[in-house]
């Protein structure tokens, strides 16, 4: 009997997602302090309906300032991400502002898909004036290796769709196939005779998905 | 294989009266509105080739980026036309007066639509999602040949039910057995291949049904539908894209009410009622009044333009009233619980 806290076939129940989300946000806060924490947005704030069965919601990370470098470093393919109010951090020497010479901000939401039973990453970019960035511009901000990954992979392609709750166009990483590569990630735990604990689901998921949009997570988070 | 109800659904259409937005009028006098019959299961952008000839001589110079609005609310082009009508017009307006724009696409609100391919992509994407929900995977859609996919889409665009009926078995969508109404047609055996969680008899045990629920919540009670206030923005509507899941039990009939209530737990169970039904004898006591005020109430559920009786078996509703992409779109008007 699935209590909802198990990962079955690489997929999550909505209860499992809530548990995994909080565990992910906690670990992120502990191990990934160079970035702001994820916040949990209950659906009750975003829809007219009140779900009294479980607290449903999504994870949100917003106003991330992306500085992209024109010179690619082969060692570090992740984006040079700065927090918005980073009085303590200096920009790294080899980074310069992106080609438009303006700051690009990004919002990331991790939303549960009831259809596919997996998390889905939604994101959007905008200038400091709030004007949305097109996918072409966004692709220039992404690490170059992930752009080619996107172009080649059937598992990670970006589409522009409406945010499930906010009535605005966002970009989304298509979820079809998620459960397949999650199962691959779980292989080692399955052969050791145990299931992937639901608390680690989003951490594992994000270790792959985050790289596509240039957000890396420290290895400590996977413990 | 198509039965009578499905034929009615495919033939359903909304008469539209399309007005050119005044900022796009560059001719004098302004052109009269265009009258178009829009298939319920179709999409607004597909009507553009029929509408544009009426207005092309009136347009200012420049490139077209076409969108529609109803009383100032930009219309989401990827929602089937019939659903938009059922949802946005509490009291059905005939003809339905819409405004067309050829400039100034609100791209901060609407996802882009630059032609038929966008509409087709949206359709195929929804079909994949529906198949994933029903079968547990979308490999049948993915494995469909390009020309079959093309032909399926064309049959939907043209409202050609015969062509659609010949092609849709290739999708091998598992069906929900419809035990509770007279069978006008037989479900073809091959449609059960590829489904998961089946028992030996081939019936789906744990069924997931693709549903898209559009909920309009109003605070005041009303006598007539024409008293329902109009929506100002899409934020006035809650959209739920989640499947209805149920375990088939012998002899248990899931009704439309069961389905809606499970997706809207706020209005569930013996506390919920539709207007006029199930009132207890103690209705006049203050306590009962207090309870009634607290609960929400499902005032109306519309599918394919029909105001549904909520006791209808859900399996019949799904099998007969779903859209060609296998989604059941339900527009619901609820009176919000008082807090």
Q: Give residue A54's pLDDT.
A: 57
- Is the pLDDT at A91 greater than 80? The verdict is no
- Is the pLDDT at A53 greater than 60? The verdict is no
Name the DSSP class of A195: P
- Minimal Cβ distance to B238: which of A49, A53, A116: A49
Q: Give residue B183's pLDDT.
A: 43
Query: Tokens 């449903």 correspond to what residue?
Result: A56
Between chain A and chain B, the number of residue pairs with CB atoms below 8 A apart is 60
Beta strands at B244-247 and B206-209: parallel, antiparallel or unpaired? antiparallel
**Residues facing A66 on adjacent strands:** A81, A104
Q: Average pLDDT by consecutive 10-residue portion of chain B (339 residues)?
A: 84 97 90 97 97 93 94 97 96 95 94 94 94 92 93 97 95 77 43 40 70 89 83 90 84 87 68 43 49 70 96 94 97 80
Q: Would you call A49 and B108 a contact, using CB atoms and an 8 Å cutoff?
A: no
- Is the pLDDT at A185 greater than 90? The verdict is no
> Could you give the C-alpha distances from A210 to A14, A135, A149, A204, B236, in angstroms and in order?
21, 17, 13, 10, 33
Q: Give residue B207's pLDDT.
A: 84
- Minimal Cβ distance to A160: which of B111, B239, B240: B111
Is A168 touching B (CB cutoff 8 A)? yes
Give, rounded to a whole angstrom, the gap between the first and last alpha carbons of chain A. Answer: 27
Q: Give residue B184's pLDDT.
A: 40
Beta strands at B211-218 and A80-82: parallel, antiparallel or unpaired? unpaired
Is B234 touching A (CB cutoff 8 A)? yes
Q: Give residue A138's pLDDT.
A: 87
Q: Give residue A93's pLDDT.
A: 38
Please, which residues have CB within 8 angstroms of residue B212's CB and are 6 or more apart in sequence?
B83, B239, B240, B241, B327, B328, B329, B330
When mean pLDDT is compared across A54-63, A175-184, B127-136, B304-313, the lowest value belongs to: A175-184
**If we measure between CA atoms, which residue out of B60, B88, B58 comes closest to residue B75?**
B88
Q: What is the mean pLDDT of residues A98-114?
A: 83
Q: Would you call A169 and B109 a contact, using CB atoms and an 8 Å cutoff?
A: yes
Choose, out of A114, A171, A180, the residue to mutate when testing the contact with B (most B CBs < 10 Å): A114
Q: Would you call B138 and A162 a contact, using CB atoms and an 8 Å cutoff?
A: no
Query: How far apart, in whole angstroms, are the C-alpha atoms of residue B277 and residue A204?
Result: 51
Q: Give residue A101's pLDDT.
A: 59
- Is the pLDDT at A68 greater than 80? The verdict is no
Contact A104, A141 (CB under 8 A): yes
Q: Give residue B276's pLDDT.
A: 42
Q: Give residue A42's pLDDT.
A: 87
Query: How far apart, in whole angstroms, are the C-alpha atoms of residue B113 and residue B44?
Result: 11
Beta strands at B96-101 and B297-303: parallel, antiparallel or unpaired? unpaired
Q: Give residue A96's pLDDT.
A: 37
Q: Would you call A176 and B110 a contact, using CB atoms and an 8 Å cutoff?
A: no
Contact A217, A207 (CB under 8 A): yes
């Amino acid at each position: 009997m699935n209590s909802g806290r198990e990962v079955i076939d690489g997929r999550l129940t909505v209860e499992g997602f809530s548990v995994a989300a909080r565990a992910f946000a906690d670990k992120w806060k502990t191990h990934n302090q160079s970035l702001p924490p994820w916040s949990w947005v209950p659906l009750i704030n975003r829809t007219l309906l009140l779900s009294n069965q479980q607290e449903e919601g999504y994870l949100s990370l917003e106003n991330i300032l992306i500085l992209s470098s024109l010179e690619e470093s082969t060692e570090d393919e992740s984006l040079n991400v700065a927090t918005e109010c980073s009085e303590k951090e200096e920009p790294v020497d080899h980074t310069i502002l992106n080609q438009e010479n303006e700051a690009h901000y990004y919002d990331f939401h991790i939303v549960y898909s009831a259809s596919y039973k997996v998390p889905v990453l939604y994101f959007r970019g905008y200038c400091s004036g709030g004007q949305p960035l097109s996918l072409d511009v966004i692709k220039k901000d992404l690490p170059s290796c992930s752009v080619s990954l996107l172009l080649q992979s059937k598992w990670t392609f970006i589409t522009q769709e409406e945010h499930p709750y906010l009535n605005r166009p966002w970009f989304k990483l298509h979820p079809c196939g998620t459960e397949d590569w999650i199962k691959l990630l779980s292989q080692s735990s399955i052969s050791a005779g145990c299931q992937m604990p639901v608390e680690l689901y989003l951490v594992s998921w994000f270790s792959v998905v985050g790289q596509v949009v240039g957000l890396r997570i420290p290895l400590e988070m996977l413990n | 294989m198509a039965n009578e109800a499905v034929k009615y659904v495919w033939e359903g259409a909304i008469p539209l009266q399309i007005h050119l937005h005044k900022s796009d009028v560059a001719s004098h006098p302004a052109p009269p509105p265009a009258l178009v019959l829009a298939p319920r299961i179709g999409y607004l952008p597909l009507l553009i080739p029929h509408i544009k000839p009426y207005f092309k001589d009136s347009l200012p110079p420049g490139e077209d980026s076409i969108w529609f609005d109803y009383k100032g609310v930009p219309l989401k082009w990827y929602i089937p036309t019939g659903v938009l009508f059922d949802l946005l017009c509490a009291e059905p307006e005939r003809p339905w007066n819409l405004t067309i724009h050829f400039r100034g696409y609100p791209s901060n609100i609407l996802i882009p639509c630059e032609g038929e391919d966008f509409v087709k992509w949206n359709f195929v994407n929804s079909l994949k999602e529906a198949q994933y929900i029903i079968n547990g995977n979308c490999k049948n859609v993915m494995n469909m040949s390009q020309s079959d996919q093309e032909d399926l889409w064309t049959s939907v665009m043209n409202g050609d039910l015969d062509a659609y009926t010949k092609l849709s078995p290739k999708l091998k969508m598992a069906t929900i057995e419809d035990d509770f109404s007279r069978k006008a047609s037989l479900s073809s055996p091959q449609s059960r291949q590829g489904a998961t969680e089946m028992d030996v008899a081939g019936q789906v045990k744990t069924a997931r049904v693709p549903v898209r629920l559009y909920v309009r919540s109003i605070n005041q009670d009303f006598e007539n539908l024409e008293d329902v206030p109009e929506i100002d923005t899409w934020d006035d509507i809650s959209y739920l894209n989640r499947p209805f899941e149920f375990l088939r039990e012998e002899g248990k009939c899931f009704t439309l009410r069961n389905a809606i209530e499970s997706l809207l737990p706020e209005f569930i169970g013996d506390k919920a009622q539709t207007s006029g039904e199930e009132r207890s004898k103690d209705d006049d006591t203050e306590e009962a009044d207090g309870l009634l005020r607290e609960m929400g109430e499902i005032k109306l559920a519309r599918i394919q333009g029909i105001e549904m009786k909520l006791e209808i078996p859900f399996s019949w509703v799904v099998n007969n009233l779903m859209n060609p992409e296998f989604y059941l779109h339900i527009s619901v008007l609820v009176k919000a619980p008082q807090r």
